[in-house]
Amino acid sequence: MSSAGSDTPTSHRLISAPVSFVSGADRSIRRRLFLSRVFSWICRFVTYASLAVLIVLLTAIIWSSFGRLAFDFVYSTNSSNPKNAGMLAGLWGSFWLVLFTALFSIPVGVGSAVYLEEIAKDSFFVRLIKTNLSNLAGVPSIVYGILGYTVFRSAAAVLKVWFDGQHAFNIMGLFRLRLHKLPIYEDNILVGALTLTLVVLPTVIASAQESLRSVPSSLRVASLALGATRWQTIWRQVIPAALPGISTGVILSTSRAIGEAAPLIMLGALTITTMVPGNIDSPVKLITRPMQVLHAPLDQFTAMPIEIYDWSRQTDSQFTAVAATGIIVLLIVLLSINAVAMIVRHYASRRLKW
């Protein structure tokens, strides 16, 4: 059963040797074995064809990127001239987005998983939550974009009026003094990150649940038997034991937010901009410009996949190379995050044995 290609040769020999004079039966067996072999080749072909597609895809993208592939691509912002167009704004936009998405989705996601796996009893409401989660995972991300546009963006618009409009409330007077140098935009990073949080949350919860499920129940029982409370058991035994799996799964599912463009476009994120959130265009400024760091989450943004979308639809064919270079940067970012996740799993699981 394990090795491919050898199609029950023993049975062939056993059956065909004594009855070889019956040519009809022999032909039927030969035909069946031939059919089996053809089928195995078809299945193998189909499987490896999908891998070939991956190689063709990467080759085509690298091939298309000649003409713009250079290091200054990640140092320069977008431009109407394809020779100078770069991805700096998108890189920083995606950085802030994924930072806040992780900040929102990891506590809530792991918390829900802990509740569903460790605390919840099988009640109607818990079953409702579970069914609901599996259905939410299938909701197209663009629908979350509509939700984000209608709820989060409107909320940001209200805040904007509070902070820099004429109708500022008295209670807000204190904040207005401090914040009047920090303009709030309706389509800001936080709105984008909240929307992306809703997009990735079902997968974050599912992967955390899976890691919690793989913790042996003897650990819980032993801890409870020694007099620990339920929360002490969860916090000191179950979560540390599940941590390698949780962190890998959570990193991988949160990183999917980097490739999401549709919900952000629905929010009205900028497609053509040279502006970097908070004007922080180098990692050094994260430390040297604290006021700008404060400003960044409330600033407008673009993101890597949005810029790629915009370059792909340009009629000027020179932008093809720009889009392809952008894709290479995006894929490198995603690949490095995957690598980090693998390293985390490797190091975190070294201490654990059972």
Partner 1 sequence: MMTQARPSWASRHISRRHEKLIQAALFLCAALSVLTTAAIILVLLTNAVYAPGVKTAFFERVSLWEFLTGMHWKPVDGDAGRFGIIPLLCGTLMVAVIASLVSVPAGLGAAIYMSEYAAPREREFLKPMLEILAGIPSVVYGFFALKFITPWILKPVFSLFEMNLQIFNTLSAGIVVGIMVTPLIASLSEDVIRSVPRSLREAAYALGSTRFDVSVRVVVPAALSGILAAFLLAFSRAVGETMAVTIAGGQQAIATLNPLQGAQTMTGFMVHASTGDSAADSISRMSIYAVGITLFAITLTINVISGWILRRYREVYQ
Using CB under 8 A as the binding rule, the residues of this chain from 194 to 233 that contact partner 1 are: 198, 201-202, 205, 229-231
Q: What is the DSSP string of 198-228?
A: HHHHHHHHHHHHHHHHTS-HHHHHHHHHTT-
Q: Is 17 in the site for partner 1 (CB under 8 A)?
A: no
Q: Which of 8, 28, 279, 349 touches partner 1 (CB under 8 A)? A: 8
Q: Is 43 in the site for partner 1 (CB under 8 A)?
A: yes
- For 67, list phi and psi in degrees, rounded to 5: 115, -25
Q: Cβ closer to partner 1: 219 or 334?
A: 334
Q: How many CB atoms lie within 10 A of CB 49?
A: 10
Q: Cβ closer to partner 1: 108 or 286?
A: 108
Q: Which of 155, 285, 338, 340 touches partner 1 (CB under 8 A)? A: 338
Q: To 10 degrees, what angle do helices 239-259 and 88-114 make? A: 140
- For 165, list phi and psi in degrees, rounded to 5: -90, 180
Q: Is 175 in the site for partner 1 (CB under 8 A)?
A: no
The one-letter amino acid at 266: M
Q: Which of 84, 274, 318, 320 touches partner 1 (CB under 8 A)? A: 320
Q: Is 286 in the site for partner 1 (CB under 8 A)?
A: no
- Using CB under 8 A as the binding rule, the residues of this chain from 237 to 256 that contact partner 1 are 256
Q: Cβ closer to partner 1: 243 or 322?
A: 322
Measured between alpha carbons, how far is residue 349 from residues 80, 222, 270 in Å? 49, 21, 42
Per CB under 8 A, the segment of 18-26, 50-58, 89-97, 161-169 that binds partner 1 is: 50-58
For residues 237 and 65, give the distance between their C-alpha atoms in angstroms, rounded to a whole number. 50
For residues 173 and 36, give the distance between their C-alpha atoms in angstroms, rounded to a whole number. 79
Q: Which of 20, 25, 27, 36 touches partner 1 (CB under 8 A)? A: 36
| DSSP character at residue 275 | P
**CA geometry: angle 86, 91, 94, nearest 5 deg:** 145
Q: Is 138 in the site for partner 1 (CB under 8 A)?
A: yes
Query: What residues have CB less than 8 Å from 316, skipping those under 6 apart?
Result: 82
Q: Cβ closer to partner 1: 140 or 165?
A: 140
Per CB under 8 A, the segment of 86-94, 160-168, 325-333, 346-354 that binds partner 1 is: 325-333
- Using CB under 8 A as the binding rule, the residues of this chain from 52 to 71 that contact partner 1 are 53-54, 56-57, 60-61, 64
Q: Max alpha carbon distance in the chain (Å)?
A: 103
Q: Which of 22, 49, 226, 352 touches partner 1 (CB under 8 A)? A: 49
For residues 57 and 283, give the distance between their C-alpha atoms in angstroms, rounded to a whole number. 32
Q: Which of 2, 23, 170, 217 touches partner 1 (CB under 8 A)? A: 2
Per CB under 8 A, the segment of 49-57, 67-75, 93-101, 242-250 that binds partner 1 is: 49-57
In the complex, minimum distance from the CB of residue 95 to partner 1, in angstroms, rounded to a whole number: 16
In the complex, minimum distance from the CB of residue 234 to partner 1, in angstroms, rounded to a whole number: 9
- Using CB under 8 A as the binding rule, the residues of this chain from 75 to 134 that contact partner 1 are 107-109, 111-112, 114-116, 119-120, 126, 128-129, 131-134
Q: Judged by CB under 8 A, how many residues of this single chain contact partner 1?
A: 93
Report yes or no: 89 and 308 within 8 Å, Cβ to Cβ: no
In the complex, minimum distance from the CB of residue 340 to partner 1, in angstroms, rounded to a whole number: 14
The one-letter amino acid at 136: L
**Torsion sign, CA atoms 320, 322, 265, 94:** positive
For residues 73 and 78, give the distance between their C-alpha atoms in angstroms, rounded to a whole number. 9
